[in-house]
Amino acid sequence: MGARSMMIFDKIPHMSSINFSVPDDLREFVDERVARAGFSTPSEYMRHLIREDRKRAAQEQLEALLLEGLDSGAAELWTEADVEEIRAAVRERLKKRRGAHGATPKG
């Protein structure tokens, strides 16, 4: 097997199984959705539902954080010292990240 083939296999996510039981009426509904919505299998349909729920959960978390920010009080203007402090913190995080990945930081 060539290097290119190995790269393709490295990108395939590991799959694990979840088995659960549903009443007959839900199984019929799933089968109908699979057929009508163009899914290949019930598993593909379930993966789609889980991905959509994950997106919805992320959206809810973002909205909660935005509301927290709005409720946190009036905004304050940043000083040049504030901006420099943030820049220094970002530089430090990048230096640590690059060091952890074996890359050398660019100067």
In the predicted model, what is the mean pLDDT of the chain?
89
For residue 106, which amino acid is it? K
59 & 91 share domain? no
Number of domains in the chain: 2
104 & 62 share domain? no
Does 101 have pLDDT greater than 80? no
82 & 64 share domain? no
Token pair, residue 79, equals 């000083």
Helical H segments across the chain, by residue range: 3-11, 24-37, 42-71, 80-100
Does 5 have pLDDT greater than 60? no
61 & 98 share domain? no
pLDDT of residue 2: 58
Does 3 have pLDDT greater than 60? no
100 pLDDT band, cuts 50/70/90, is: confident
Q: What is the pTM of this model?
A: 0.60
CA distance 82 to 27: 57
49 & 66 share domain? yes
List the domain range (segments joined by +) for residue 24.
18-70
pLDDT of residue 103: 58
